[in-house]
Amino acid sequence: MTVAVKLFLLGFGGFWLLFLSLFCLGFRINISSSLPLGLYQASFQPVSNTLNRGSLVLFCLPDSSIMRIANQRSYLGAGACPGRTLPLLKPVLAVAGDTVSIQANGVKINDAALLPQSQRLSLDSQGRSIQGMPNGVYRVKPGEIWVLSTYSPRSFDSRYFGPVPIQDVQATVTPIMTGS
């Protein structure tokens, strides 16, 4: 084996060792369009029913028909969640006691103004029909949250799959270094 090959293998092994070490410490890289590209750190402490609006959470979608469709269409990467998907990283939009109003032109929380970029889309980026939560007013129940990203109009979030059980939240997340 040449010196160049040995150096390459050493560097490659070192990269993966560093990557796995950072992953074990809770560091995550977001490459989805739902939030700014960047480095985030997850805190895997037990999550209580006291999540706040605006908190970033890492969660698994419960096994459901919309999750299976999302998985089939590759909206979700492969991972350790039910359905063998990756956890999603989204901001908390509404908490227990809030009202979520889904309208044709967007989403409102507690009768405030429409959230930017919150209109539910009828087609995905490949031009396929996508079903979402029906228009209506929903009261957030204890033990659940609604998540929605206003960063991207194409975010796959509660507009499509509804409330997230708090028991499915794996971690709260803090941005460390992002592109915005």
pLDDT digits (tens, 9 = 90+) for 100-110: 999 999 999 99
On the question of pLDDT at 146 being above 70, the answer is: yes
On the question of pLDDT at 50 being above 80, the answer is: no
**What is the rounded distance in angstroms from the CA atom of residue 121 to the CA atom of residue 66?**
15
Domains annotated for the chain, with CATH where assigned, are 3-100+137-178 (2.10.109.10)
What pLDDT score was predicted for residue 1? 81
CB 68, CB 81: distance < 8 Å = no
DSSP structure string for 116-158: TT-PPPSB-TTS-B---PPSEEEEPPTTEEEE--SS-TT--SH
On the question of pLDDT at 172 being above 90, the answer is: yes
Structural Rg of the chain based on CA atoms: 19
**What is the rounded distance in angstroms from the CA atom of residue 29 to the CA atom of residue 27?**
7
**Beta carbons within 8 Å of 24's beta carbon, 6+ residues apart:** none
pLDDT digits (tens, 9 = 90+) for 85-99: 889 999 999 999 999
What pLDDT score was predicted for residue 106? 94
More confident residue, 98 or 11: 98
On the question of pLDDT at 17 being above 70, the answer is: no
Backbone angles phi, psi at 22, to 5 degrees: -65, -40
Give the whole-number percent of the chain exceeding pLDDT 70.
Answer: 91
pLDDT band at 22 (very low <50, low <70, confident <90, very high): low
On the question of pLDDT at 46 being above 90, the answer is: no
Task: Indicate the average pLDDT of the chain.
Answer: 87
